[in-house]
Structure 1
């Protein structure tokens, strides 16, 4: 069970208090604070470690449209389904249109990884698989309100993407703007998606209990993101790569 995101005795009595609580969670729990990101963006990793990050993160990215299809399935409301479904196209693309998954494969290919190997997910860390699958299960099993609330990490993504683009381009000679196109595109997509989700939870969380559930959903999602970086750090910085996982050549 997820621990409450609110302190003992804290009650959220309005939409404004809910938004303030959500933004506080982002400021204190979002994975931009993880030390692995400091290494990645500061040029402190070698190419093999960057490959390991991109490989594992692909599994998360490739599962996002599956997660969003599950979210859509939770709603009888046609307007919400219509609003949400562009997220699937953002990642899967459409006929003749490149999506986020293809852009991420451009990143992994540019880093020297074989795309068939990346897509197979054979070499990902166990914690990556468990965390990503837990996210899909969450949006399937929790309330539709909580399913939407779990996406609210997008509120904090643009600043991280900007830091990632500038840091990786500045520090790694094996990175160029073309293979960073996933992040450039998300600079406009993420705010649009986050604004809808934020408006939705502020409008539909009517009671203090529902507002607390929204906060706990965001807390859960920050944990999903954080634990993936914990696993990467343990495996590829501390050097404890589990059996069967990707082993960098450098």
Structure 2
């Protein structure tokens, strides 16, 4: 008997899913667990947030935004070929910008300014909630310590991001007209960027995850990332409720 082909229970290893089934399972994670279902996001998109609540979210979400190129640098270091590293480096430039005053981080700072926040408030991060710091640190460390497959799979929340961005743009234009329209540039850019990035990452995951064990680890990584985003909103939501109590 080939002992390498059995697991510790003595049963044969599970058959791998087809690429189509793996993709369906990954998309199902987003549909069921992405933070578009979080009560805070539902309230945001229904126009039910106060100015203070929306500003608190902008400040705390910025702590996540500014760490996106950090986690992408960690993923880039894990990639095995020059071609893949060049491709992933584009994500860092998307957020850090090709030069000062450009990129996604700069656009988020301008969102804060459009909402009446001083950019130094966002950059100092004095008011970032402990729960948000913990969630962001957990995601960065996941990308640092886990396999390339798991780190890339965790980025597949981008599969759900374009639809969320379109919903968010509509909600801000409809319900939060006190925010200057140019502040929505970050959301507009992420519609096309998210579609492109998710397709590239999905192709990598489908090609790398050959065994059932690898496929299940990819699905678990995406579920973990959904939990990170959910936990971030939990912290922001609780802070608002404490303030209102």
Question: What TM-score, normalized by structure 2, do the two folds share?
Answer: 0.91
**Distance in 2 separating the partners of 1:11 and 1:30:** 28
Contact kept in structure 1, 2:14 and 2:212, CA below 8 Å: no
Q: Which has the higher contact order (CA 8 A, sep 6+)?
A: 1
User: What do residues 156-200 of structure 1 show as CA deviations (whole Å, max 9, x unaligned)?
Assistant: 001100110001110113123200000000111001000000000
**Distance in 2 separating the partners of 1:20 and 1:12:** 14
**Distance in 2 separating the partners of 1:223 and 1:57:** 15
Assess, with a 3 A threshold, how the Cα gap between structure 1 residues 37 and 117 changes in structure 2: closer, same or farther: same
Deviation at 1:96, TM superposition (A): 6.0
State the Cα RMSD in Å: 1.7
Deviation at 1:219, TM superposition (A): 0.4
Contact kept in structure 1, 2:156 and 2:222, CA below 8 Å: yes
Q: Does 1:234 align with 2:238?
A: yes
Q: Tell me, which stretches of 5 or more residues in structure 1 are unaligned?
A: 1-8, 242-250
**Distance in 1 separating the partners of 2:38 and 2:212:** 30
Question: What TM-score, normalized by structure 1, do the two folds share?
Answer: 0.89
Q: Does 1:45 align with 2:49?
A: yes
Indicate which of 151, 164, 170 corresponds to 2:168.
164
**What is residue 227 of structure 2 aligned with on the other side?**
223
**What is residue 111 of structure 1 aligned with on the other side?**
115
Q: Does 1:91 align with 2:95?
A: yes
**Distance in 1 separating the partners of 2:207 and 2:163:** 26
**What is residue 188 of structure 1 aligned with on the other side?**
192
Contact kept in structure 2, 1:169 and 1:176, CA below 8 Å: no
Q: Does 1:28 align with 2:28?
A: no
Q: Does 1:139 align with 2:169?
A: no
Q: Does 1:203 align with 2:207?
A: yes
**Distance in 2 separating the partners of 1:31 and 1:53:** 14
Deviation at 1:74, TM superposition (A): 1.2
Decide which structure has the larger Cα Rg and report it: 2
Aligned residues: 233
Mapping of residues 118-133 of structure 1, within 5 Å: 118-133=122-137
Deviation at 1:97, TM superposition (A): 6.3
Assess, with a 3 A threshold, how the Cα gap between structure 1 residues 50 and 183 changes in structure 2: closer, same or farther: same
